[in-house]
Amino acid sequence: MKYLINSVLHWYQQSLQYFRHLDGIAALALRIYLVPIFWMAGQNKLMHFNDTVAWFGNPDWGLDLPFPTLMAGLATSAELGGAVLLALGLFTRLVSIPLIITMIVAILTVHLPNGWQAIADANAPFANAQVLASSEKLEKAREILQNYGNYDWLTSSGSLVILNNGIEFAATYLIMLLALIVLGGGRYFSSDYWLSRYMNKFRK
């Protein structure tokens, strides 16, 4: 029996040695997922930069942040530059830091007052008063569209929902970036890996 257990453990350890060559796939998947998100966010800020600056600085309908032009520039640069570097897997751990800061600022200044849910769903966990109140409004909107619009056509691309704009998505991206600080760009699939191998040749 002891011999059998030892054999199984030995086989298990040997199998893990083969799977370690695939450990870069997790980091690659995280990077590929995040690239279009940050690229589109940065592009949107850049294309409407004056509006972005106004939104960052306005105390009435904006974020009321200090130095709005600088803050908007930093956020735009972090998202566009971050998307490019994540796509390449270059300086992955380093570039994750400003993106994490961007996500924390977004959570605290934009999303936190709306609670957890990104899409309002009164039946889901963490439904706050704002989400619960949205159910009646959503039902009324459906009723209006069913009576006065082509409801089947309007919903043919997806269900009618109310955007709650909570922290759910930003928190998810934050967690993914924290994972990339630990994982790095990933074995084989990142510029970081090949740059590290190249640099190690000169250290020997």
The mean pLDDT of 133-144, rounded to a whole number, is 92
In terms of residues, how long is the chain? Answer: 204
Write down the mean pLDDT value for the chain.
91
- pLDDT-based confidence at residue 100 (cuts at 50, 70, 90): very high
d(CA 33, CA 42): 15
- pLDDT-based confidence at residue 126 (cuts at 50, 70, 90): confident
Cβ atoms of residues 80 and 35 within 8 Å: no
Cβ burial, residue 131 (10 Å; 0-12/13-18/19+): buried
Tokens 């897997």 correspond to: 89
Ordered by start, the domain boundaries in the chain are 27-115+166-204, 116-164
Cβ atoms of residues 170 and 106 within 8 Å: yes
- pLDDT-based confidence at residue 3 (cuts at 50, 70, 90): low
pLDDT of residue 149: 86
**Can you give the pTM of this predicted structure?**
0.87
DSSP symbol at 153 = H
DSSP 76-105: HHHHHHHHHHHHHT-SHHHHHHHHHHHHHH
Question: Does 204 have pLDDT greater than 70?
Answer: no
Question: Does 10 have pLDDT greater than 90?
Answer: no
pLDDT of residue 16: 66
Cβ burial, residue 182 (10 Å; 0-12/13-18/19+): exposed
Tens of pLDDT, residue by residue over 144-195, are: 999 988 899 989 998 899 999 999 999 999 999 999 999 999 989 999 999 9
- pLDDT-based confidence at residue 23 (cuts at 50, 70, 90): confident
